[in-house]
């Protein structure tokens, strides 16, 4: 049986994978440039980055590599991870009272080198956020480093007035799509 390598340092992806009864044999953080290409559409971006993450990990002949990428898109615009509180404020102000897309791509490279890709698209609508709500959310620190400046698995879930699609997609690893990829490659699920 092939061993699974998770190409991610995200504890959320590891936890979500565990919900499928899957424990990776090893975990590696891919080191790639995640900058969007000029005029790249959000769907294409998420799929490209997930594939590049998987391809960046060296694998033994008996290993398969699983990687994911979750992006937040407002129209055709790819929102970056919030690396500062100022950027986080700007992102939350942009998302306030609006619908956006959480796009989560999953890539699996099997033992034969076959690349399998899936994409989940979840529509999320935030309530209109007050300045005080944004201030409190930034102060709690949970949205820093996350695409779009928020983590739905925490306090930001209270901002969601509408969600159409997969909650696990927004968290960072769409379970339905991940399960389908692992099954198609013959990897056992728990």
Q: What is the dihedral of CA 45, 51, 57, 61, to 10 degrees?
A: 180
Which candidate in 44, 69, 110, 121 is catalytic?
Answer: 69
Residue 93 and residue 55: Cα distance in Å, rounded? 35
Q: Burial letters for 48-81: b for 16+ Cβ neighbours within 10 Å, e otherwise?
A: bbbbbbbbebebeeebbbbbbbbbbbbeeebbbb
135 noted as active-site residue: no
Catalytic annotation, residues: 69
């Amino acid at each position: 049986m092939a061993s699974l390598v998770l190409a991610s340092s995200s504890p959320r992806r590891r936890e979500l994978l565990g919900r499928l009864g899957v424990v990776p044999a090893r975990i590696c953080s891919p080191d790639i440039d995640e900058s969007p290409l000029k005029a790249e559409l959000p769907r294409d971006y998420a799929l490209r980055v997930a594939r590049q993450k998987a391809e960046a990990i060296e694998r033994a002949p008996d290993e398969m590599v699983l990687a994911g990428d979750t992006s937040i898109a407002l129209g055709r615009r790819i929102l970056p991870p919030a690396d500062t509180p100022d950027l986080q404020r700007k992102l939350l102000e942009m998302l306030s009272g609006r619908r956006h897309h959480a796009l989560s791509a999953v890539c699996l490279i099997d033992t034969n080198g076959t690349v399998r890709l899936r994409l989940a698209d979840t529509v999320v609508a935030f309530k209109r956020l007050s300045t005080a709500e944004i201030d409190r959310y930034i102060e709690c620190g949970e949205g820093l480093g996350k695409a779009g400046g928020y983590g739905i698995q925490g306090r930001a879930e209270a901002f969601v007035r509408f969600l159409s699609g997969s909650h696990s997609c927004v968290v960072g690893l769409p379970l339905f799509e991940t399960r389908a990829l692992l099954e198609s490659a013959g990897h056992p699920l728990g």
